[in-house]
Amino acid sequence: MKTELSCEGSAKLRVPSASFSDPHHCEVFFNPDMEFNRTVSVAVMRAFAPKSVCDGMCALGARGMRYALEGGARKVVCVDANPAALVFANANIKLNKLKNVSAVEADINDFLDSHPLGFDFVEVDPFGSAVPFLESAAKAVKKGGMLSVTSTDLANLCAGKRVSAEKCRKDYAANPIRCDFSHELAARIFAGKVSSFGFKPVLVFYQGHYVKGFFVRGKKPKLGFVSYCPKCAARVTGKREKCACGFKTQVAGPLYLSDLCDKKFLAKVKGDARVAKLVGLLSGEIGFPPYFFDLHAVCDCYGLPGKAVATVLDKLRAKGFKAVRTHYCPNGIKTDADVKEVAAALR
Which residue ranges make up the site for ligand SAM (CB under 6 A)?
29-30, 34, 38, 57-59, 62-63, 80-82, 85, 107-108, 125-127
Size of the site for Zn ion (CB under 5 A): 7
Q: Considering the complex, what minimum distance in angstroms separates the CB of residue 245 from Zn ion?
A: 3
Residue 245 interacts, among Zn ion, ligand SAM, none and using kind-specific CB cut-offs from 5 to 8 Å, with Zn ion
State the minimum distance, in angstroms, from the CB of residue 147 to ligand SAM: 15
Name the binder of 74 from ligand SAM, Zn ion, none, CB < 5-8 A by kind: none
Q: Quote the least distance from Cβ 125 to ligand SAM, whole Å.
A: 4
> Which residue in the set 28, 103, 131, 229 belongs to the binding site for Zn ion (CB under 5 A)?
229
Residue 107: CB minimum distance to ligand SAM, A: 4
Strands 3-8 and 11-16: antiparallel
Minimum CB separation of residue 36 from ligand SAM in Å reads 11
Closer residue to ligand SAM, CB minimum distance, 19 or 175: 19
Residue 2 CB-density burial (10 A; 0-12 exposed, 13-18 middle, 19+ buried) = exposed
Beta carbons within 10 angstroms of residue 287's beta carbon: 12
In the complex, minimum distance from the CB of residue 128 to ligand SAM, in angstroms, rounded to a whole number: 9
Who contacts 320 (Cβ-Cβ below 8 Å, separation ≥6)?
none
Report the relative pairing of strands 11-16 and 293-294 from DSSP bridges: unpaired
- Rounded Cα distance between 186 and 289, Å, is 15
Q: Give the 3-state secondary structure of residue 263.
A: helix
Contacted by 308, from Zn ion, ligand SAM, none: CB < 5 to 8 Å by type: none
Which of 231, 319 has the CB closer to Zn ion?
231
Among 243, 260, 299, 312, binds Zn ion (CB under 5 A): 243
Q: How far is the CB of 313 from Zn ion (least distance, A)?
A: 24
Which residue lies nearer to ligand SAM by CB, 113 or 341? 113
Strands (E), 116-246: 119-124, 141-151, 199-207, 210-217, 224-228, 235-237
In a 10 Å sphere around its CB, with 0-12 CB exposed, 13-18 middle and 19+ buried, how is residue 6 labelled? middle
Binding at 336: pick from Zn ion, ligand SAM, none (beta carbon under 5-8 Å per type): none
Distances (CA, A) of 225 to 175, 250, 326: 9, 10, 20
The DSSP annotation for 219-244 comes to PPPPPEEEEE-TTT--EEES--SB-T
Q: Is the dihedral of CA 178, 222, 208, 85 positive or negative?
A: negative
Cβ proximity to Zn ion: between 121 and 293 the closer is 293
Nearest to 239, CA basis, from 221, 255, 217: 255
Cβ closer to Zn ion: 27 or 300?
A: 300
- φ, ψ at 277 (rounded to 5°): -65, -45
Residue 245 contacts residue 231 (beta carbons within 8 Å): yes
Nearer to Zn ion, 127 or 247 (CB): 247
Q: Residues 153-192 vs Zn ion: string with x where CB under 5 A?
A: ----------------------------------------
Residues lying near Zn ion in the complex (CB under 5 A) are found at 229, 231-232, 234, 243, 245, 247
